[in-house]
Structure 1
Amino acid sequence: MKKMLPWLVSILLAITLIAIVAIILLNSLFDDSGKKETTEPVKVETLSADERVEVTSELKDIKRNLLDNDYILIASFAFQLDSKKSKEEFEKIKDILIRPIINSVIADTTVEQLNGSKGQDMLASKILNLINQKLPEKQKLIKVEITNFMMSPI
């Protein structure tokens, strides 16, 4: 019995410490009393067809091999910008700045990554993020839509 006493004390201490840590973690995770609800509902602004055309630019028929080199992607994109002036500036640079970005994204993409709507959403969001990094601060790209998408083996 004397040999087991230190082991029993150690086990009881370990269990007690684990229980105390678990209670503290549960209280901190589920304690909402210190948090105040400060979020306001977001108002979504819908654009009319004419307003949407004024701020949307198109880039048609981009043809590029995928990373697999056995497949080709033919796609067209619509870019919605934050203002009419941004669209005018975007039109000037879309062939020299935007097309190379899209080509590099497509070149690094596999067929499996593009399958289904999730793959197309991933492609559009990746392009949106990369383009927004390259645009001047006064311009902002809001949305990238894939208007034409055809993937075919060569």
Structure 2
Amino acid sequence: ASMFAFVGISMPIFLWGLVCILVFAVWLNLFPTGGYVSPSDDLVGSLTRLVLPAGAMGFALTAYIMRMTRSSMLEVLIEEYINLARAKGMSQRVIVLRHALKNAIIPVITVIAFQFSYAFGGVVVLEEVFFWPGIGRLTLTAIQS
């Protein structure tokens, strides 16, 4: 999981889009390379064209959240109240879920909020990679105009 997160952070979102196209559309021939089909015309075709862009976006954003959650949990698990809970004989599951996760999730929620701006910047380029009309294309058209 740490290697997954490290690789996910290392590459920008649009590069994940190109990797998804190469692996899942060209090599494995599972999904189309891009384009847009209206859900009212072809629901299945619309959903198959949505899988790769959503997967690339989700992979890149999830990797950073995973790293932040891990580091935050490591910091919380060395605190004194966690040692007290262990001394009382609580199970590790109860300690992690009931005590540590409550305090570790606070910085993770902050990171998730900051990810929205990162996602907006990434979606501008990702929509161009997959030839998908959306807010990214409108932003680029507005900048060019």
Q: TM-score, normalised by structure 2?
A: 0.29
With a CA cutoff of 8 Å and minimum separation of 6, indicate the structure with the bigger relative contact order. 2
Higher strand residue share: 1
Higher Cα Rg: structure 1 or 2?
1
Higher helix residue share: 2
